[in-house]
């Protein structure tokens, strides 16, 4: 059966994670469409990262299903993928940008090597082409081209984060997971990164699921928002509507405490 463009990209039902007796998150339903940016917000410990790690196949759920529309249009149950399919998805069709760039980068491999590695995963073999594409991406994330042979070990925190973004976008993924992508950086550095992330997301027509405790980041990047508390979804809707006119008392509290900050 042919899939239409309005078929969802990712669907999760009843996603639940228990750590022993402790609830990581419970009964989360979620639907994401191509090109859509969903922000998952909530205080520390509300289950955001747990949810993101399950959705991105880095952690096994206790219960619930996730399905994803592959490039061939087939909707697949992600728990049923074989190892090769799963690896291909994670290396090419998906990106993952966490707060800690040292987890996503190879710190002693050159900047060009870090970016080029993902292209080689897609089958690129020509050295000159790979290098040119890497240079192009350094430009896009505002890293000086002369640094292409330097290892990220020698980079500042902001540069590492920008390189991680380049590495994860170079394969033109359809879906990128981000967990506090600007957390831990200086405010001025954050603002610049959020700014070009916005541009890249629009240019590349990426679908993004971004976890953040920062409502300003959610406001700038996302079209839809999901508010979590104690592992449960409290409220969900269009970002501007939820932030301007929150319905749940908890969301009202969250929004007003930001306004007072
Ligand atoms: P957030 O990303 O919103 O800060 P987390 O998903 O990290 O929240 O955590 C949700 C809940 O699950 C918290 O109560 C946290 O203490 C618990 N938790 C997270 N990871 C683990 C773990 N590896 N073992 C036990 N409990 C965990
Ligand atoms: Mg977290």
Ligand 1: does its nearest atom lie under 6 Å from the Cβ of 99?
no
Q: Domain coordinates of the chain in residue numbers?
A: 10-260
Under 8 Å between Cβ of 34 and 5: yes
- The per-residue pLDDT for 4 is 53
Ligand 1 contact via 49 beta carbon (within 6 Å): yes
Q: Closest Cα to residue 112, out of 137, 93, 141? A: 137
What is the reported pLDDT for 1?
Answer: 44
Q: How far apart are CA 164 and CA 38, in angstroms?
A: 20
Q: Report how far residue 170's alpha carbon sits from residue 234's, in angstroms, rounded to the nearest whole number.
A: 35
Contacts 24+ apart (CB under 8 A), 236-240: 239/39
For domain 10-260, the CATH architecture is 3-Layer(aba) Sandwich (3.40)
Best mutation site among 16, 18, 20, 22 for ligand 1, i.e. most ligand atoms within 8 A of its Cβ?
22
Closest residue by Cα to atom 12, ligand 1, is 24
Tokens of 131: 């290098």
50 lines ligand 1 (CB under 6 A): yes
| pLDDT at residue number 188 | 87
Question: What is the chain's pLDDT, residue by residue, as a tens digit (261 residues)?
Answer: 445 567 999 999 999 999 999 999 999 999 999 999 999 999 999 999 999 999 999 999 999 999 999 999 999 999 999 999 999 899 889 999 999 999 999 999 999 999 999 999 889 999 999 999 999 999 999 999 999 999 999 999 999 999 999 999 999 999 999 999 998 888 888 888 998 899 999 999 999 999 999 999 999 999 999 999 999 999 999 999 999 999 999 999 999 986 544
Which atom of ligand 1 is nearest to 20's Cα?
A: 25
| Per-residue pLDDT at 76 | 96
pLDDT value at position 6? 77
Scanning the structure block, which residue is given the tokens 């953040």? 212
pTM: 0.94
Which pLDDT value is given to residue 2? 46
């Amino acid at each position: 059966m042919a899939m239409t463009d309005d078929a969802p990209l990712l669907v999760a039902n009843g996603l639940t994670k228990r750590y022993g007796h402790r609830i990581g998150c419970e009964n989360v339903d979620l639907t994401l469409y191509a090109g859509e940016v969903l922000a998952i917000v909530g205080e520390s410990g509300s289950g955001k990262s747990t949810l993101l790690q399950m959705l991105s196949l880095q952690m096994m759920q206790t219960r619930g299903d996730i399905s994803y529309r592959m490039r061939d249009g087939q909707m697949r149950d992600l728990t049923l993928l074989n190892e090769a399919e799963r690896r291909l998805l994670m290396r090419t069709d998906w990106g993952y940008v966490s707060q800690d760039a040292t987890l996503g980068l190879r710190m002693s491999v050159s900047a060009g090597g870090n970016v080029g590695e993902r292209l080689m995963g897609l089958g690129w073999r020509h050295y000159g082409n790979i290098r040119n594409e890497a240079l192009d991406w350094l430009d896009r994330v505002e890293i000086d081209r002369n640094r292409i042979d330097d290892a990220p070990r020698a980079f500042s925190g902001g540069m590492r984060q920008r390189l991680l973004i380049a590495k994860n976008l170079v394969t033109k993924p359809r879906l990128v997971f981000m967990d506090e992508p600007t957390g831990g950086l200086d405010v001025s550095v954050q603002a610049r990164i959020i700014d070009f992330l916005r541009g890249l997301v629009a240019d590349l027509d990426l679908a993004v699921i971004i976890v953040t405790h920062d409502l300003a980041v959610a406001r700038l990047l996302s079209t839809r928002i999901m508010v979590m508390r104690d592992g449960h979804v409290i409220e969900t809707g269009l970002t501007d509507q939820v932030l301007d006119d929150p319905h749940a008392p908890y969301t009202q509290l969250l929004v007003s405490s930001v306004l007072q900050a």
